[in-house]
């Protein structure tokens, strides 16, 4: 039987202009769905795991369309609570070259934002599960959701699950102070922390002293220092950090580090040409969770996670629609992009 992983968060309607058009230019928007944890669930379903996504969505057709967008890829949506009025929306304008992407949220009073603890029966949801994943976006959405996320993390530990959290700081949803306070409590129940150095600094005020003298960015020692400080503070078993050594619109190197048992493992570096970067971090989380539940060794774990997320950057939409074989092919060194025939 395949291993069961539960994720919890908000899935939103993503509305986006075609290609690289600006919001103010268009008279129609393309509609898809996405959300940090939903994206991870789709990755895991693609990899063949029993992938369960938990949220609350209205009973109406837009809520159903969100459910269908997940079912289409094999995510188990049976634990989604139905009710409330709104599906959260995010508008995404894709940047190019020196113009960055823009994200506008319209998610206040969504069904999940207004969910209450009684909406979820965690004992039932976690039955037979091995792993629970959420991101720092979920508790940022509303106070009630922060309370529910904490309860879910505690319950997951009681049920013996491994708990992972991607810090994913969203400054449009809450202040650094509030994020630090809420996440500081929730992270006591987390085993595997996914972060980048900006999240660590924004949420926990953790900064590293080691930077590269020429670029001014963190160097390897700096990343290790961030992971060590996170581990010291929360007792994480693993810290996975995506490295922004030089990630700008024109120079996109993508790699990561896994820190576990006092050892740091660095992945290969990929030069990306970005088709869609939204969900890139989630695809990394999905690859990491897949590798961990399958007990890959640390180097293989980080290579799989980074290769998975490198592939995501080539795919339109939030979801990483790749198979284990495709990820293994890239992780194994074949990044040729050749046509297969
Ligand atoms: O930013 C958010 O809250 C989203 O969930 C939108 C995207 O799906 C998310 O940023 C991808 O990680």
- Supply the pLDDT for residue 215: 73
CA–CA distance from 3 to each of 144, 240, 241, 255, 322 (Å)? 30, 21, 25, 27, 19
282 CA closest ligand 1 atom index: 12
Beta partners for 127? none
CA atoms of 115 and 120, how far apart (whole Å): 9
Report the domain count for the chain: 1
- Supply the pLDDT for residue 328: 98
- Token readout for 174 is 């809450």
The answer to whether the CB of 90 is under 6 A from ligand 1 is yes
The answer to whether the CB of 241 is under 6 A from ligand 1 is no
- Supply the pLDDT for residue 246: 53
Ligand 1 centre distance from Cα of residue 110 (Å): 15
Low-confidence ranges of the chain (pLDDT < 50): 247, 249
Is 339 inside any structural domain? no
CA atoms of 207 and 67, how far apart (whole Å): 39
- Supply the pLDDT for residue 93: 98
Whether this prediction's pTM lies above 0.80 is answered by: yes
Q: Hunting for tokens 């020196």 — which residue is that?
A: 98
Q: What angle do CA 63, 66, 69 make, to 5 degrees?
A: 150
Tell the residue nearest (CA) to atom 5 of ligand 1: 35
Tell the residue nearest (CA) to atom 7 of ligand 1: 35
The answer to whether the CB of 137 is under 6 A from ligand 1 is yes
Residues spanned by the domain of 162: 4-331
Is 336 inside any structural domain? no
Q: Hunting for tokens 């989380």 — which residue is that?
A: 285
Ligand 1 centre distance from Cα of residue 253 (Å): 21
CATH number of 22's domain = 3.40.1190.20
- Supply the pLDDT for residue 245: 65
Is 146 inside any structural domain? yes
């Amino acid at each position: 039987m395949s291993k069961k992983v539960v994720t919890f968060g908000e899935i939103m309607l993503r509305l986006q202009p075609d290609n690289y058009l600006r919001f103010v230019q268009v008279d129609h928007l393309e509609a898809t769905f996405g959300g940090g944890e939903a994206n991870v669930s789709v990755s895991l379903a693609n990899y063949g795991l029993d992938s369960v996504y938990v949220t609350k969505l209205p009973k109406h057709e837009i809520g159903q369309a969100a459910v269908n967008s997940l079912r289409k890829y094999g995510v188990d949506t049976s634990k989604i609570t139905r009710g409330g009025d709104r599906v959260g929306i995010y508008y995404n304008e894709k940047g190019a070259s020196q113009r960055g992407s823009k994200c506008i949220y319209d998610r206040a009073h969504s069904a999940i934002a207004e969910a209450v603890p009684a909406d979820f029966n965690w004992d039932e949801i976690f039955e037979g599960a091995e792993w629970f994943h959420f991101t720092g976006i979920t508790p940022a959405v509303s106070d009630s959701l922060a309370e529910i996320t904490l309860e879910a993390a505690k319950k997951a530990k009681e049920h013996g699950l491994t708990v992972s959290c991607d810090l994913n700081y969203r400054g449009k949803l809450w202040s650094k102070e509030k994020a630090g306070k809420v996440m500081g409590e929730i992270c006591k129940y987390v085993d595997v922390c996914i972060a980048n150095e900006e999240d660590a600094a924004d949420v926990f005020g953790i900064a590293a002293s080691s930077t590269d003298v020429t670029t001014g960015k963190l160097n390897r020692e700096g990343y290790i220092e961030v992971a060590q400080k996170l581990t010291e503070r929360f007792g994480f078993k693993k810290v996975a950090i995506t490295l922004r050594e030089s990630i700008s619109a024109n120079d996109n190197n993508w790699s990561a580090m896994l820190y576990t048992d006092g050892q740091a493992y660095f992945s290969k570096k990929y030069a990306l040409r970005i088709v869609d970067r939204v969900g890139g971090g989630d695809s990394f989380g999905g690859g990491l969770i897949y590798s961990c539940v399958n007990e890959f060794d640390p180097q293989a774990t980080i290579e799989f996670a980074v290769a998975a997320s490198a592939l995501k950057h080539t795919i339109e939409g939030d979801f990483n629609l790749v198979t284990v074989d495709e990820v293994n092919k890239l992780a194994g060194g074949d990044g040729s992009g050749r046509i297969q025939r």
